[in-house]
Amino acid sequence: MAIREKVFNTIISCFKRHGAENIDTPVFELKETLTGKYGEDSKLIYDLKDQGGELLSLRYDLTVPFARYLAMNKVTNIKRYHIAKVYRRDNPAMTRGRYREFYQCDFDIAGQYDPMIPDAECLKIVHEILSELELGDFRIKVNDRRILDGMFAVCGVPDDKFRTICSTVDKLDKMSWEDVRSEMVKEKGLSEEAADQIGQYVSLQGGMDLAERLLQDAKMSQSKQACAGLTDMKQLFSYLQLFQVTDKASAEKVRTTETQVMVASAQKNLLEERLRLTAELWNAGIKAEVMYKKNPKLLSQLQHCEDSGIPLVAILGEQELKDGVVKLRTVHSREEVRFSYTASLSV
């Protein structure tokens, strides 16, 4: 209890520092209020015994009761926090501290505002709390449903399967990609081709850089929905920089190789050119690397640079070859310069 009190005091102090007011709601709600709000997880709701009155259920989270509170009281703008117990008819995981009754600490900003400003403050709050609690390294994952839906569309997921495939993708935190893929294909009836395309995207990680790369991706750029979400995501990260929500893993990585340049291609059928340039870099004493695929996606090649800490990427494209130049990009800053083919060897 002493530990819990200290944690709650830290969280509440942060919520109040950001101007939130406190509310409370009943531990139970009308069953009809909760029904249909949680997708496949609705089966985890505790229903109270029918004693000849209204059908009631224990609250599953604090978000749906908050929405009901706003609607009943005609509240249009509020910044609120709510710390209370919720109930889920799930299999308890004692080793992870997950019981069927547990606390949630919610902070929400309700209302109509300019995009991404309230969202950035919510992430700032999470960053402040986790940093102050000194829990060690942590990662905050953000998503925009438009990006997810756009990705499903360009990967060939039928409209009527969006929600059910989404619920499976959400399990990536708990299951391997192989198991997630198997569920999508064997249980949800998704084609193997669509599942494999989804796998290429969900394996990517990053922040502002990933949003920019996806905006340039040949498939994702075809979805207006995804592009709108990615544009807002870029805006979000610009606000996070102003709020000083910085990446704590941004310290220099411990690299296992000394590769200086990754030789990449922007289009298909450029394997020979990539190999030729890689050989010339090696001959010039430059530590270089190339992916062992005939037609790797540019996104995958750039992600490899991010993951491996390779500082530079030489990008070959059909237009660059015609112009007799190579694009050299600094991976961290994404700044690009063009070198003539000869000049590029004296990097």
Q: Are strands 312-316 and 261-265 parallel, antiparallel or unpaired?
A: parallel
How many angstroms separate the Cα of 83 from the Cα of each of 15, 106, 146?
Answer: 11, 6, 29
Query: What angle in degrees, to the nearest 10, is found between the helix axes of 117-132 and 224-242?
Result: 50
**Number of CB atoms found within 10 A of residue 93's CB:** 9
Report the distance separating Cα 208 and Cα 234, nearest Å. Answer: 6
Annotated binding site for L-histidine: 61-63, 88, 104, 108
Report the distance separating Cα 225 and Cα 306, nearest Å. Answer: 26
Annotated binding site: 61-63, 88, 104, 108
Listed in order, strand segments (DSSP E) in the chain are 21-22, 28-30, 56-58, 78-87, 101-110, 261-265, 288-290, 312-316, 325-330, 336-340
* 3-state class (DSSP) for residue 14: helix
Residue 240 has which token pair? 């996070």
Order of all β-strands in the sheet with 101-110: 21-22, 78-87, 101-110
Element (H, E) at 197: helix 192-202
